[in-house]
Amino acid sequence: MIKINEYIESGILETYVLGSASEAEVRELLYFKEKYPEVEQALFSLETDLERIALRMAVPPPPHVWYKIESEINELVTAPHADALTIKLPPGNSKGKEGKKNSQFLDVDASSSHMRIHKIWRLILIGLFVLGKIFLGFAIFFFLENRKLKEELQELKTELKVEKSVK
């Protein structure tokens, strides 16, 4: 059985944090991290300190550096091949809508259980909800009115019967 303090003291955590651990060592360390809070705490402390060391030696980048990065990102966003990731349905299902190249589509990431949909759906769903409430209100109102009228009608019938019998 492994002695966890010896493991922490072996220097393996430093090796991992500094990015020199082998894949097997990383797997083992992540397993121990899950299993032993001491390992998790020691790792957290190391990572925080490493960040602090890097912060002390930081060199603020000049503004043009971000512009360069941004221009490349924008190129990627506007590039025609960015549209290439399209789910092609069988021919019968396409109905000739391929020509519309805008973002008014449902987004589906096959590797995820989540779905990205257009924001317009939020308004539509809110509208449907409000409309549903209004209809429900009307239904209850007319139901009560109907019941009231029936009762009144019943009373009138009773009165008529009483008057006839008196005559």
The verdict on 83 binding other proteins (CB under 8 A) reads yes
The verdict on 27 binding other proteins (CB under 8 A) reads no
Stretch 95-124 residues interacting with other proteins (CB under 8 A): 95, 97-98, 103, 105-109, 116
Q: Which of 95, 124, 118, 96 is nearest to 106 (CA)?
A: 118
The verdict on 40 binding other proteins (CB under 8 A) reads no
The verdict on 54 binding other proteins (CB under 8 A) reads yes
The verdict on 39 binding other proteins (CB under 8 A) reads no
DSSP element (H, E) containing 27: helix 23-35
The verdict on 34 binding other proteins (CB under 8 A) reads no
Q: Which of 42, 56, 38, 37 is nearest to 13 (CA)?
A: 42
CB-nearer residue toward other proteins: 52 or 164: 52
The verdict on 156 binding other proteins (CB under 8 A) reads no
The verdict on 9 binding other proteins (CB under 8 A) reads yes
| Exposure of 134 in the CB half-sphere (CA atoms within 13 A) | 6
According to DSSP, residue 83 is labeled G
Q: How far is the CB of 11 from other proteins (least distance, A)?
A: 3
The verdict on 11 binding other proteins (CB under 8 A) reads yes
Between CA 5 and CA 58 the distance in angstroms is 33
Between CA 142 and CA 103 the distance in angstroms is 44
Between CA 36 and CA 30 the distance in angstroms is 10
What residue ranges bind other proteins (CB under 8 A)?
Answer: 9-15, 17-22, 30, 43-44, 46-62, 65-66, 68-70, 72-73, 76-78, 82-87, 89, 93-95, 97-98, 103, 105-109, 116
